[in-house]
Amino acid sequence: MKYFSKTLPYTLSFTIPIITLIGTNLGDYLTFSTLGYAFVLLPLTELFLNPVETNFTGEEAEKFKDKLLFSLLLWLHVIFQYAVAFNLLNLLGYGGLSTLGIIGVIISSGISMGALGITVAHELIHRKSKFEQFLGKLLLLSVLYLHFFIEHIRGHHKKVGTDADPASAKFGESFYLFLIRTVIGSYFSAWKLETERLRMKKVNPFSLKNQMIIFTIFTIAYLGVITLLFGLKITGLYIITSVFAFSLLEAVNYIEHYGLERKVKANGKLEKVQSFHSWNSNFPLSRWVLFELTRHSDHHLNASKKYQVLNNIENSPEHPAGYPGMIFLALIPPLWKKVMDKKVIEVMNYSE
């Protein structure tokens, strides 16, 4: 019974694709339902909730870490992701939407496919199982962001908190400047990482052994199928939705590491990644909807650790709100700086 009670809160994650599938079919203003739910209702509700910092005991963590139901919840999101994608294409192609409806469908679908779909992909690509990594790639394919599989695991996790990491936001950098830098930088970083990997193995990087070439072929093929079924105009709108979706991913990256830098030691080497190199949030709704992504310090210290057993680490830097509220704040740079810059200074002084 306790097993099911521990998995139950994470079913809240399904409210986002379900609201998207229902709301986008209701037309006009109701096509924005997901926007209202994710970035108005959730953050406002969390204003009245206290962070929950409790962790499993060591015995409980060992008991729950490999329970299948926790993984099944992730796998189900692959079905929901493609249901949202098909619903998007069908509505854009045959739904007779007004201009307002088109905008609402794109925004709501982008939120579901990006904020949630890529979050699930992130959890799956860190798994050791090839099957689960494949599911993660399927999710990334749906938003045209397959290179994240390479850059995130082999780039971001090694270079986090340094100038060499395009996914770590610098102190004083606005989200909009970061977005341009990270989207471009992460893509080229993935090519570089894959080329270096193959050259070390003495394999020609311009071959089908190069994952980036394979990812590019699959992305083109995926868009080709969409074009054949729905036409170029709908494909263009789908690309716009995907850009919006992966921009939400990068908004999450922005709030997770903003201003937190790893120091260079006296011997010239970088300090190891510490708990104070990631921002955390223990607000319960964000934790459950985003499969504990908000306990980000523990994730960077234990990258393959499954979401259900990630811990709150005492004295790790904390956001003043849940992820939806922090993303909204990041979209208004003056407010973001007013709230977060003093927190960064406190954390960096503390870590010295």
Instruction: Spell out the SS3 assignment of 46-113.
Output: HCCCCCCCCCCCHHHHHHHCCCHHHHHHHHHHHHHHHHHHHHHHHHHHHCCCCHHHHHHHHHHHHHHH
User: What pLDDT, on the 0 to 100 scale, is given for residue 5?
Assistant: 82
End-to-end CA distance of the chain: 46
What residue ranges do the domains of the chain occupy? 2-351
If the chain, 352 residues long, is cut into consecutive pieces of 10 residues, what is the mean pLDDT of each piece? Answer: 81 98 95 97 94 88 91 98 98 94 98 97 97 98 98 97 96 98 98 97 95 98 98 98 98 97 83 94 96 96 95 93 96 97 89 54
**Which SS3 state, helix, strand or coil, does residue 280 take?**
strand
Rounded-to-integer distance, Cα 149 and Cα 170, Å:
23
Q: Looking at the chain, list the stretches that DSSP marks H as alpha helix, in order from N- to C-terminal side.
A: 2-7, 15-23, 33-36, 42-46, 58-64, 68-94, 99-111, 117-125, 130-142, 148-150, 157-159, 175-200, 211-230, 232-257, 284-289, 296-301, 323-330, 333-351
Residues in the chain: 352
Angle, helices 130-142 vs 117-125, to 10°: value is: 150
Rounded-to-integer distance, Cα 212 and Cα 215, Å:
5
Q: Write the DSSP string, 318-351.
A: B-SS-HHHHHHHHTSHHHHHHHHHHHHHHHHHHH
Confirm if 321 and 329 have CB atoms less than 8 A apart: yes
Confirm if 317 and 277 have CB atoms less than 8 A apart: no
Non-local CB neighbours of 263 within 8 Å, separated by 6+ positions: 270, 271, 351, 352
User: What pLDDT, on the 0 to 100 scale, is given for residue 4?
Assistant: 77
User: What pLDDT, on the 0 to 100 scale, is given for residue 19?
Assistant: 98
- 60-75 pLDDT tens trace: 888 889 999 999 999 9
- For 223, other C-beta atoms within 10 Å of its C-beta total 17
Rounded-to-integer distance, Cα 30 and Cα 13, Å:
20
Rounded-to-integer distance, Cα 298 and Cα 305, Å:
8
- 265-295 pLDDT tens trace: 778 788 999 999 999 999 999 999 999 999 9
Exposed / middle / buried, residue 275 (Cβ in 10 Å: 0-12, 13-18, 19+):
middle
CA distances from 247 to 55, 178, 183 (A): 31, 10, 8
- Per-residue burial over 155-171, b = 16 or more CB atoms within 10 Å of its CB, e = otherwise: bbbebbbeeebbbbbee
User: What pLDDT, on the 0 to 100 scale, is given for residue 2?
Assistant: 62
User: What pLDDT, on the 0 to 100 scale, is given for residue 57?
Assistant: 84
Non-local CB neighbours of 25 within 8 Å, separated by 6+ positions: 87, 91, 95
Residue type, 83: A
Secondary structure letter of residue 37 according to DSSP: I
